[in-house]
A = this chain, B = another copy of it.
Amino acid sequence: MSTLLEQIESPADVKRLSVEQLKELAGQLRQFIIETVSRTGGHLGSSLGAVELTLALHYVFDFSADKLLWDVGHQCYAHKIVTGRKAGFDKLRQADGPSGFPNPAESEYDQFAVGHAGTSIATAIGMALGADIKKTDEKIVAFVGDASIVNGTNFEALNNLGLVKRQLLIVLNDNSMAIDATVGSLAKYFSKIRLSHTYEDMRKTTKNILEHMPIIGKSMEEAIEKIKKTIRMTLPGSQLFESMNIPYFGPVDGHDIESLIQLFEAVCELDHPAILHAYTKKGKGFEPAEQDRSRLHSTGPFEVNGDAMESVSAVKGRNFTDVFGEAIVELAAKDQSIVAITSAMCDGTGLNGFRERFGERFFDVGIAEGAAVDIAAGLAKEGLKPVVCIYSTFLQRSFDQIFQEVALQNLGVVFCLDRAGLVGADGPTHHGLMDIGFLRMMPNVVLVAPATETEVKGALEFALGANKCVCIRYPKDIVGAKDSESKACRKPFVLGKSVVVRKSADSQIVVVSYGAVLGEAIKAAEVLAGEGIEAEVVNARFAVPVDKKVVAAALAGRCIITVEDHWAACGFGSAVQEAVLAAGGKAGKLRMKNLAMGAEFVKPASRAQQLMQAGVNADNIVRTVKELISE
């Protein structure tokens, strides 16, 4: 590591540097980020692209008083490093290191712990309104990418920007490439501007802005009017924002740190909201990341080999995403009515193969989960079989659309919820711990969780044949080794029917597992068997409807231990308990125990660590069974 970066302990140290030194620091930051992420994995491309913008912001603003709000937040590594978190960076996204997203618990320089897109502008508006009421004068900056600005909540916020009658700067970090290929008209529009815009044009725009910026004796509005006019003559970039009455500056070069400092100094004094549009290059400074921007959006550990890189992924075996990706291609080859929809997560949800083979039946709507679900509803209405692939946590954005446009209409939309359950390193914003609860309240919705590789395909086949809304959840994890699959898991899915994976009809103990945690239940049963305790293991498959056999077992007085990868509140075990108590008005002795996440946010760590801490693992199943028996 080089000297300049070593000297940076806080943003105050950034402010002391010359422009030339800042350029040098930018290079050092990039190297540091590449080296770190090569060991830890993380969001590489976005953070590399935002280095100069980050330094210029910290140079001009004082974010111990001013407020910097990140959208999504995965582009904040440089920010984390210059705000005192450099030392722990080799443990990025690990249990005892800094998280991969902004986190106020780590630093006063972070405002909101985020990870979902679309929040920066509205929260910034809230803070600006708050400052106005309190009559404080901290400056507020929202930092948002081109992939996030098209999210509905950001648009709602832009439409309400007029509420703010004071300074509020939106920095639009336009790397013209979102998580996946950026989609939508606005992206095309941005990209059209970008293509027609040379480096020279950007210099000219910067110069125009700086020349016309208000100085003493010149009215602010007059200045903006002049700048707008000048810019409008050179390019049509301001059209959208102008129609929303938002003063727009740009596009400017997001890697020209000297100009950025001047620009921020100029616009930070405005007494109303404004947007500065900067072009950056995703993955800037790291050849492989520049070339394969989608792959290196989020990466596991890798080895840098000159300008190339090699993955050193330690993960053994195929994961649920891969298995799903193959299953949908296989089924879609036989059924022309299958269509797939995703929201900027084609790669992450395993749809690359589907897109390649069935491009005309594939739709990526960008970070727009609400629209994704509604488009799926329209497709189902026309008789097609839409499969909506969205991470569990992001599907929370579509809650109301699933309720009204799918469940209420009783439409056959299939939801494939990748990253359901604990996700490991991404932490609390990314765990999918609420899907069972928010979906099982809706009439007409069936909930399924496959436990094994065979079951992923089985569940999908069932869902596509059900002509109902079926939601399939599976975690970010490898699927159990094939030979651990009992014959039971190879049976076709039948609505509301569980399968017994380890039979022990005489045993008073029934472990009922929902989804991929089945492996832990089997392991526990084996351990118990070794100690002479027989337990039946049931693979529930369905959370809605709950299998009547499970209810009957509970009412018969057998001990039911439910196991799941979801918050205990409203989860699978809760559904079983509801069903048992509803059936058992005349209830006798009930012995039920639910193993699930407690009511606390779960910090970054490995998924295995997180499951262990929550007690959703074989050890704790064994412990629980013994406790129940000893009563």
Interface residues of A (CB under 8 A from B): 104, 111-116, 118-119, 122-131, 133-134, 136, 150-153, 155-163, 183-186, 188-189, 239-240, 242-246, 339, 360-361, 363, 365-366, 368, 370-371, 374-384, 386, 394, 396-397, 399-401, 403-405, 408-409, 428-429, 433-434, 437-438, 440-443, 567-570, 574-575, 577-578, 581-582, 585-594, 599-601, 627-628, 631
Which of B136, B339, B437, B592 is close to A581, meaning CB atoms less than 8 Å apart?
Answer: B592
Q: Are B162 and A381 in contact (CB under 8 A)?
A: no
A126 near B408 with CB under 8 A, answer no
User: Which residue in chain B gives the minimum CB-CB distance to A120?
Assistant: B374
Considering the chains assembled together, what is the distance between the CA atoms of A376 and B376 in angstroms? 31
Looking at A114, A379, A581, A591, the one whose CB has the most chain B CB atoms below 10 A away is: A581
Cβ contacts A to B, 25 pairs, < 8 Å: A113-B408, A119-B401, A122-B377, A125-B371, A126-B377, A130-B382, A150-B156, A152-B152, A152-B153, A152-B155, A158-B185, A159-B184, A160-B184, A160-B185, A160-B371, A239-B243, A396-B400, A399-B438, A434-B441, A437-B570, A440-B570, A568-B582, A577-B577, A585-B631, A587-B589
Q: When A157-B374, A574-B578, A585-B593 are in contact, do A185 and B244 touch as well, CB less than 8 Å?
A: yes
Q: Quick check: A581 and B577 within 8 Å, CB to CB?
A: yes
Q: In whole angstroms, how far apart are the Cα atoms of A589 and B591 in the complex?
A: 9
State the Cβ distance, A143 to closest chain B Cβ, in Å: 15
Question: This chain: how many copies in the complex?
Answer: 2
Task: Give the residues in chain B near A339, CB-CB below 8 Å.
Answer: 129, 133
Q: Could you tell me if A405 and B119 are in contact, using CB atoms closer than 8 angstroms?
A: yes
Contact across chains for B438 and A433 when beta carbons are under 8 A apart? no
A581 lies within 8 A of B590 (CB) = yes
**Within the assembled complex, what's the spacing in Å between the Cα atoms of A206 and B360?**
37
A400 touches B116 (CB 8 A): yes
A133 neighbours in B (Cβ, 8 Å): 339, 360-361, 379, 382, 384
The answer to whether A123 touches B378, judged by C-beta atoms less than 8 angstroms apart, is yes
Query: Taking the nearest CB of chain B, how far is it from the CB of A225, in angstroms?
Result: 16
Interface contact B245-A185, CB-CB below 8 Å:
yes
Residues of B within 8 A of A370 (CB): 118, 122, 152-153, 156
A122 B581 Cβ-Cβ under 8 A: no
Given A127-B381, A383-B130 in contact, is the A160-B366 Cβ separation under 8 Å? yes
Q: Is the CB of B404 within 8 A of A115?
A: yes
Q: Is the CB of A375 within 8 A of B159?
A: no
Closest chain B residue to A184, Cβ basis: B159
Q: Is the CB–CB distance between A382 and B126 below 8 Å?
A: yes
Distance of A429 from chain B, by nearest CB (Å):
6
* Distance A33 CA – B609 CA, assembled complex (angstroms): 63
7 additional contacts (CB under 8 A) given A123-B377, A568-B578: A123-B381, A129-B379, A437-B441, A438-B438, A581-B594, A585-B628, A587-B590
| Cα of A384 to Cα of B569 in the assembled complex, Å | 30
Chain B residue with the shortest CB-CB distance to A373: B122
